[in-house]
């Protein structure tokens, strides 16, 4: 695929980005596109390897989970056949405008070229294809020609719920999506900040789905505002895509102080404030967090990952006084370790957009590795004023079990802080719908349903996405939403033609 000698002729050229000190002045997307000629050169780097792991998604940490036909659309972009590239992209991916922006690109980690040189810029090419599709007017609503008469309720409008609804609607079923927030999109709307994914792009896709016949009901938490049993009575099937929204807490001294928040409270409240201001009205109460401002404050983010990085970027745009990030794990190596071979996702040290912005503004990377928070301390009014930490080390266990954490004597430190955001991952679903429907759960409290089948123990009830598999990537949520739609269609019709 691509040009046979392209990987020898052209260097990797990733997304160009707006300068950090410029972009922290607004909430617009921070990345830009390459020119058409540059994109063709990048597509040419796809090296006709003969063993394209990039689109397999068969390994836990390698390849594309939705089996994007990456070598094919790389080649089509190289040949300047953009309309065909869009068709191949949409063959496996309902929402490339989302994954082309927020996916960490495990496909690039398993790119064969990555064995010897920087991998193909798969993610930026994907994003350019779908953006051009919208610009050229190629992406239009295509309602199903025939309706089956079957009704399906989808709980949750995140990437799993949207993908499931899109596929079921394509099959001709009448689909209603229930969302507890005031706007559709789940974490795409309220979990990912605007500078990574502008919300007009989410609304544009939702509007297309509406035009194709999907019904969305917002401000409605199933299991609270409407009994879960009502969905079973009023539909032929139900698909649960509520996500894993129960955050991991840090139950240490001072946790109750004003100023200690879960990361998602901060991110959700910020996006809602932006959107309500932009449209000049509050869209509705629904499920919502209050707005939290980091302006002029010392901010500490506990936990890394994408969510923690988003807290950094959001705090920078608020105009924080300082911002630090604590990670309990060691600093990753600059290159793959021997225990992390290709085509696994490379666990290496990376500088994401938030890290770069903090460095540009304050002159250093915000991360401190191998650090543990001991307690939060407040003032007389119960407001957070500082936190206490100690450096740690991981000591190998004698019995071969997991390494043990040990504090390093003499490394205690006090940090000023008026805001702390806990970004340590999620434990499982919090939605009461599972209990009301009698859906069995696994040891991690997720809905119990076999991958590939997606059926729960309750007839006609399916589960997909983070609610079934636990916290994961947007691209895995789309994979599961599509898979659950396929099996739901088979349940309803006795057979299915959905991929």
CB atoms within 10 A of CB 498: 16
Alpha-carbon span 266 to 309, nearest angstrom: 12
Do 451 and 418 belong to one domain? no
142 in a structural domain = no
Q: Which of 406, 422, 438 is the last residue of a domain?
A: 422
Do 256 and 348 belong to one domain? yes
CA angle 306, 307, 309 (to 5 degrees): 65
140 in a structural domain = no
- In the prediction, which pLDDT does 294 show? 98
Do 376 and 266 belong to one domain? yes
Do 200 and 215 belong to one domain? yes
Do 277 and 408 belong to one domain? yes
Q: Residue 184 pLDDT > 80, yes or no?
A: yes
Alpha-carbon span 438 to 463, nearest angstrom: 13
Average pLDDT over residues 270-276: 94
At residue 348, φ and ψ (nearest 5 deg) are -125, 165
- Judge whether 96 and 89 are in contact, CB under 8 Å: yes
- Judge whether 151 and 200 are in contact, CB under 8 Å: no
Alpha-carbon span 99 to 477, nearest angstrom: 11
Q: Which of 361, 395, 422 is the last residue of a domain?
A: 422
Q: Report how many domains make up the chain.
A: 3
Instruction: Examine residue 343 and say whether the peptide bond preceding it is cis (omega within 30 degrees of 0).
Output: yes
Which residue in this structure is represented by tokens 């089509």?
A: 76
Q: Residue 399 pLDDT > 80, yes or no?
A: no
- In the prediction, which pLDDT does 285 show? 62
- At 5-38, the pLDDT tens digits run 999 999 999 989 999 999 999 999 999 999 999 9
- Judge whether 233 and 458 are in contact, CB under 8 Å: no
33 in a structural domain = yes
Q: Which of 103, 135, 167 is the last residue of a domain?
A: 135
141 in a structural domain = no
Alpha-carbon span 105 to 64, nearest angstrom: 8
Do 304 and 417 belong to one domain? yes
- At 409-420, the pLDDT tens digits run 999 999 999 999
Alpha-carbon span 301 to 340, nearest angstrom: 27
Alpha-carbon span 121 to 39, nearest angstrom: 9
Q: Residue 182 pLDDT > 90, yes or no?
A: yes
Do 264 and 170 belong to one domain? no
Do 313 and 436 belong to one domain? no
Alpha-carbon span 305 to 308, nearest angstrom: 5
CATH code of the domain containing 25: 1.10.1060.10
- Judge whether 436 and 229 are in contact, CB under 8 Å: yes
Which residue in this structure is represented by tokens 């509520």?
A: 242
Average pLDDT over residues 397-402: 79
345 in a structural domain = yes
Do 231 and 345 belong to one domain? no
CATH code of the domain containing 278: 3.50.50.60
Do 20 and 110 belong to one domain? yes
| 3 state DSSP class of 164 | helix
461 in a structural domain = yes
Domain that holds residue 86: 6-135
Alpha-carbon span 188 to 473, nearest angstrom: 11
Give 62's pLDDT tier (boundaries 50, 70, 90): confident
Using a cut of 0.85, tell me whether the model's pTM lies above it. Answer: yes
**In angstroms, how far is CA 147 from the centroid of its own chain?**
32
Do 263 and 301 belong to one domain? yes
DSSP one-letter code for 53 = G
């Amino acid at each position: 695929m691509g040009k046979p000698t392209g990987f020898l002729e052209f260097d990797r050229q990733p997304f160009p980005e707006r300068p950090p000190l410029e972009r922290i002045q607004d909430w617009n997307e921070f990345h830009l596109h390459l020119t058409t000629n540059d994109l063709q050169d990048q597509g040419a780097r796809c090296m006709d390897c003969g063993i394209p792991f990039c689109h397999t998604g068969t390994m836990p940490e390698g390849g594309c989970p939705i089996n994007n036909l990456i070598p094919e659309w790389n080649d089509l972009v190289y040949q300047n056949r953009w309309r065909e590239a869009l068709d191949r992209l949409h063959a496996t991916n309902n929402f490339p405008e989302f994954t082309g922006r927020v996916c960490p690109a495990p496909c690039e980690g398993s790119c064969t070229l990555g064995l010897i040189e920087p991998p193909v810029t798969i993610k930026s090419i994907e994003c350019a294809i779908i953006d051009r599709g919208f610009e050229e007017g190629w992406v239009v609503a295509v309602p199903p020609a025939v309706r089956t008469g079957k009704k399906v309720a989808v709980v949750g409008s995140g990437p799993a719920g949207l993908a499931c609804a899109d596929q079921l609607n394509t099959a001709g079923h009448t689909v209603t999506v229930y969302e507890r927030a005031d706007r559709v999109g789940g974490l795409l709307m309220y979990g990912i900040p605007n500078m990574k994914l502008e919300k007009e792009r989410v609304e544009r896709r939702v509007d297309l789905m509406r035009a194709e016949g999907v019904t969305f009901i917002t401000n409605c938490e199933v299991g609270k505002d409407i009994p879960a049993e009502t969905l079973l009575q009023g539909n032929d099937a139900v698909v649960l895509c509520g996500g894993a929204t129960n955050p991991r807490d840090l139950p240490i001294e001072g946790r109750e102080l004003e100023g200690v928040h879960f990361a998602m409270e901060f991110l959700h409240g910020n996006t809602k404030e932006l959107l309500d201001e932009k449209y000049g009205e509050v869209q509705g109460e629904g499920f919502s967090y209050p707005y939290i401002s980091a302006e002029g404050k010392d901010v500490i983010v506990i936990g890394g990952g994408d969510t923690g990085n988003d807290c950094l970027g959001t705090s920078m745009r608020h105009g924080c006084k300082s911002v630090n990030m604590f990670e309990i794990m060691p600093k990753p190596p600059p290159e793959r370790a021997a225990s992390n071979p290709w085509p696994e996702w490379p666990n290496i040290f990376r500088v994401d957009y938030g890290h770069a912005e903090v460095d540009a503004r304050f002159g250093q990377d915000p991360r401190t590795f191998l650090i543990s928070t001991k307690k939060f301390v407040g003032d007389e009014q119960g407001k957070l004023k500082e936190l206490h930490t100690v450096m740690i080390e991981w000591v190998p266990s004698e019995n071969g079990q997991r390494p043990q954490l040990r504090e390093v004597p003499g490394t205690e430190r006090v940090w000023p802080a008026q805001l702390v955001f806990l970004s340590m991952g999620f434990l499982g679903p919090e939605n009461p719908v599972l209990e009301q429907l009698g859906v069995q759960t696994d040891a991690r409290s997720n809905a119990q349903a076999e991958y590939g089948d997606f059926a729960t123990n309750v007839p006609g009830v399916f589960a997909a996405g983070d609610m079934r598999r636990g916290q994961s990537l947007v691209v895995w949520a789309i994979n599961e939403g599509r898979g659950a739609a396929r099996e739901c269609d088979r349940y309803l019709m006795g057979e299915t033609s959905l991929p």
